[in-house]
Structure 1
C-alpha cells in the first residue's frame, strides 16, 4: 500500500480553505493552525499549508475514475476549470488554479469521453 501526502503552499489558509472545499470537498482534518488536509482517495491526501513565501508555485494532477462526474460535482459547488485539454492518446485533463495561482489538475482516461 502507498500513502500519499501532497502539499500545496498558499498565502492564507483562511482564504484558501473555501476554494479547496469547492474543489475537493470537506476537509478531512486540521492538524494545526497553518495546515488543512483533504482526502483525495483512501490513504491519499492533498494538504494546503500557509507558506506565503512560496505560495503560487505548486502543481499536481489527480487522476479520477469518472472525470465528467467529478467535474459536475465541482461545478455544483461553484468552481469551473481554468482550462481543459485532451491529449493525443485520449486522456483528458481539467486544470484549476487556486487564489495564489497553484495548479491542480484532474485527469481521466478516454473511457470518460
Structure 2
C-alpha cells in the first residue's frame, strides 16, 4: 500500500511563519497553495505545510527522522535557529526540538551513533 503524508501546522500569522519555516527548513516552500498556505515537500510523497488558522495555532507536534542528524542540526544553527531541547533516549535515538513563534513543536530525530 502506497502512503503519502501531508502534515499540517496551523499558524497565527502566515508571513511570519513563512519566514521562520524557510529558516528552519533551509528553503522557500516547494509550492504556495494559497495566500495563507505554503507546502514543503521533504521527500517524495511526504510534505509539511503551514496554514494560517489562528484558532488552532500552537498545537502541532511533528518529528521528522533524518539520516544525518548532527549535520542537519548544525545547518539549522547556521541559519540562526537553535533547538529548545535536545534529548537522547535510552535506545540511543537523538531528538532536537524547535518551536515556532506560535509554539508548534517541530522535532528532528536521528538514529544512534
**TM-score bracket for the superposition, by shorter chain length:** over 0.9
Residue in 1 aligned with 2:12? 11
Q: 1:109 is matched with which residue: 104, 108, 111? A: 111
Unaligned runs of 5+ in 1: none
C-alpha distance in 1 between matches for 2:26 and 2:46: 14
Task: Report deviation, 1:41.
Answer: 1.7
TM-score, normalised to structure 2, is 0.94
Whether the 8 Å CA contact 1:13–1:34 is kept in 2: the answer is yes
Q: Which portions of structure 1, spanning 4 or more consecutive aligned residues, are displaced by more than 6 angstroms?
A: none
Q: 1:74 is matched with which residue: 76, 85, 91? A: 76
Whether the 8 Å CA contact 1:6–1:46 is kept in 2: the answer is yes
C-alpha distance in 2 between matches for 1:25 and 1:9: 20
Task: Report deviation, 1:2.
Answer: 2.3
* Two-structure CA RMSD over aligned residues (Å): 0.9
C-alpha distance in 2 between matches for 1:25 and 1:38: 10
C-alpha distance in 2 between matches for 1:31 and 1:19: 18
Task: Report deviation, 1:40.
Answer: 1.6
Whether the 8 Å CA contact 1:4–1:44 is kept in 2: the answer is yes
Residue in 1 aligned with 2:26? 25
Unaligned runs of 5+ in 2: none
- What are the equivalent positions in structure 2 for 1:45-84 lying under 5 Å apart? 45-84=47-86
TM-score, normalised to structure 1, is 0.94
